[in-house]
Copies of this chain bind each other. A is one copy, B any other.
Amino acid sequence: MSIAQLPVMDVTACCAPLTREAIDAVNAEALARSLKAIADPARLRLVSMVAAHEDSEACVCDLTEPLGLSQPTVSHHLKILVDAGILSRDKRGTWAYYRLVPGALDSLANLLITV
Chain A residues within 8 Å of B, Cβ to Cβ: 18-19, 21-23, 25, 28-29, 31-32, 35-36, 38-42, 44-45, 47-49, 51-52, 68, 100, 105-106, 108-110, 112-115
Q: Give the residue of B21, B48, B115 whose beta carbon is less than 8 angstroms from that of A23.
A: B48
Q: Is the interface of A mostly helix, strand, loop or mixed?
A: helix
Please, could you name 7 A-B residue pairs with CB atoms under 8 Å apart, sorted by A? A19-B105, A23-B45, A25-B45, A31-B44, A32-B40, A36-B39, A109-B113
Count the copies: 2
Q: How far is the CA of A49 from the CA of B25 in the complex (A)?
A: 11
Q: Which residues of B contact A100 (CB under 8 A)?
A: 19, 114
- The complex places the Cα of A64 from the Cα of B48 at a distance, in Å, of 38
Besides A28-B42, A106-B115, 10 more A-B contacts (Cβ < 8 Å) are A18-B47, A21-B52, A23-B45, A23-B48, A28-B45, A28-B48, A36-B36, A36-B39, A38-B112, A51-B114
Instruction: Give A23 to B45 CA distance when docked, in angstroms.
Output: 6
A47 to chain B, nearest CB (A): 6
